[in-house]
């Protein structure tokens, strides 16, 4: 059994095994989570956690399912943070800046303090992608914000009271729906399917006995890596 170290969950002391994640430690302490826990794999952002460690004035953050406990850490999981989300409003031909301005005008009130970037548990350059959004550089916002799990921590810190992750969400969707290529072959394939181009071939497979299918399967040609 690993060595036990003290942690404080919502101010209450618990002894937990060294090296485990914050989430495991909270459960080890007898708490059965309802909120503040989702995928348990670092994807969903349900377990955004703020904490302090002894002898350091700084507030620290992490996803509870991905962050290991430290001796004496004082922990709270942020179960929810109110956010404003505007209805997406863009179409081909639209200029990014006015679209984003209309949806989230507060974006232009960024004070450049960097609190959002500092707190992001995904290490995203939040303040910088907001700057790119102000310039209408959707591709840059999309790339820079791609790993966002929408945990809400940036919104909790923003002095301009914006919700950076929803601005990034709008920018990514706008970019993907309007500016990313749409290869002709996708449309072509959909038309082929609709016209029944594959019906006969596939129906012949649907009705085929296992032995014959097996032969076709075993001898099919496989594209190289």
Partner 1 sequence: MPYPPHFDAALESVAATRNFRKGQEIKRLSDEERTALIADYHPDYRSEGMAPLALGANKGGRVPVELKKMLEAYSLFQPLNINLTEPDYTTDILVVGGGGAGCAAALTANDLGARVLMVTKLRLGDANTLMAEGGICSAVRPEDNPYMHYLDTIGGGHYTNIPELVKALVMDGPEIASWLMDMGVMFDYEEDGSLKVNHCGGHSRKRMLSCKDLTGLELMRVMRDELRDREIPYLEFTPVADLLLDEDGRCAGAVLYNMETGEFNIIKAKAVILASGGIGRLHIQGFPTTNHYGATADGLAVAYRAGAELIHMDSIQYHPTGTVWPEQLLGQLITEVMRGHGAHLVNVEGNRFINELECRDTCASACIRECTKNELGIKTPTGMEGVWLDTPLIPDIQKHFVGIYQRFKKYDIDIQHEPILVFPTQHYQNGGLAINPQAETSVKMLYAAGEVAGGIQGKNRLAGNSLLDIFVYGRRAARSAFEQLKSVETNGNLTAGHLLKWQESLQELGVPKEQQSPIFLPDYTPAGKG
Segment contacting partner 1 (CB under 8 A): 4-12, 35-43, 102-110, 151-159?
A: 35-43
Q: Which of residues 91-120 bind partner 1 (CB under 8 A)?
A: none
Q: Which of residues 154-173 bind partner 1 (CB under 8 A)?
A: 169, 172-173
Segment contacting partner 1 (CB under 8 A): 40-48, 49-57, 94-102, 126-134?
A: 40-48
Q: Does 174 bind partner 1 (CB under 8 A)?
A: yes
Q: Does 175 bind partner 1 (CB under 8 A)?
A: yes
Q: How far apart are CA 222 and CA 224, in angstroms?
A: 6
Site string for partner 1, 193-212 (x = CB under 8 A): x----x--xxx-xxx--x--
Q: Does 84 bind partner 1 (CB under 8 A)?
A: no
Q: Rounded to the nearest 5 degrees, what angle is found at the Cα of 216, between the Cα atoms of 214 and 220?
A: 120
Nearer to partner 1, 98 or 188 (CB): 188
Sheet holding 48-52, edge to edge: 12-17, 4-9, 74-77, 48-52, 60-63
**Strand 12-17 with 4-9, pairing:** antiparallel
Nearer to partner 1, 57 or 224 (CB): 224
Kind and range of the H or E run holding 100 = helix 96-103
Q: Rounded to the nearest 5 degrees, what angle is found at the Cα of 88, between the Cα atoms of 84 and 91?
A: 155
Q: How far apart are CA 102 and CA 85, in angstroms?
A: 12
Instruction: Choose, by CB under 8 A, the member of 4, 12, 13, 35 that binds partner 1.
Output: 35
């Amino acid at each position: 059994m690993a060595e036990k170290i003290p942690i404080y969950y919502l101010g209450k002391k618990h002894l937990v095994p060294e090296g485990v994640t914050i989430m495991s430690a909270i459960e080890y302490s007898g708490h059965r989570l309802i909120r503040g826990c989702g995928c348990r794999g670092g994807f969903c952002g349900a377990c955004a956690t703020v904490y302090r460690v002894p002898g350091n004035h700084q507030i620290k953050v992490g996803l509870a399912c991905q962050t290991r406990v430290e001796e004496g850490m004082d922990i709270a999981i942020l179960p929810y943070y109110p956010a404003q989300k505007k209805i997406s409003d863009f179409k081909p031909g639209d200029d990014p800046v006015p679209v984003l301005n209309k949806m989230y005008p507060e974006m232009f009130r960024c004070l450049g303090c960097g609190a959002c970037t500092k707190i992001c548990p995904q290490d995203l350059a939040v303040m910088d992608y907001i700057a790119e959004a102000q310039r209408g550089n959707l591709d840059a916002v999309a790339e820079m914000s791609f790993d966002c799990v929408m945990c809400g921590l940036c919104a909790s810190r923003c002095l301009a009271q914006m919700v950076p992750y929803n601005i990034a969400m709008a920018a990514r969707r706008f970019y993907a729906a309007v500016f990313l290529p749409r290869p002709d072959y996708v449309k072509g394939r959909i038309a082929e399917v609709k016209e029944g181009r594959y019906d006969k071939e596939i129906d012949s497979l649907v009705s085929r006995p296992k032995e014959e299918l097996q032969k076709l399967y075993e001898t099919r040609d496989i594209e190289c890596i």
